[in-house]
């Protein structure tokens, strides 16, 4: 059983993957690119985002769709 003070990353990462919206830095981390690349993908329409207050959040669905559209080889 995990102690409440345990700060292990696997639990946090799993929660991040389940969210519908990701902040720009998290989207960059998930795709393995920099923040400027995320903004370029947003400007090109390759990623979708929503604004909530002053925050711009990338939709997880658009991240998954981007990955699926750029698969090389393997099953599609």
What are the boundaries of each domain within the chain?
19-69
The more confident residue out of 37 and 4 is 37
The pLDDT of residue 18 is 80
User: Global pTM?
Assistant: 0.73
Give the dihedral of Cα atoms 32, 66, 37, 11; nearest 10 deg. Answer: -40
Does the domain formed by 19-69 have CATH 3.30.1300?
A: no
Q: Which residues pair with 55 in a beta bridge?
A: 52
What would the pLDDT profile of 15-74 be if each residue is shown by its tens digit? Answer: 666 889 999 999 999 999 999 999 999 999 999 999 999 999 999 999 999 999 999 876
Residue 24: name the closest of 15, 13, 36 by CA. 36
Q: What is the CA radius of gyration of the chain?
A: 15
């Amino acid at each position: 059983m995990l102690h409440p003070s345990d700060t292990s990353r696997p639990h946090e990462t799993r929660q991040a993957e389940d969210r519908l919206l990701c902040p720009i830095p998290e989207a960059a981390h998930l795709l393995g690119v920099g923040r400027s690349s995320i903004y370029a993908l947003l400007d090109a329409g390759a990623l979708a985002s929503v604004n909530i207050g002053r925050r711009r959040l990338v939709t997880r669905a658009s991240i998954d769709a981007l990955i699926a559209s750029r698969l090389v080889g393997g099953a599609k």
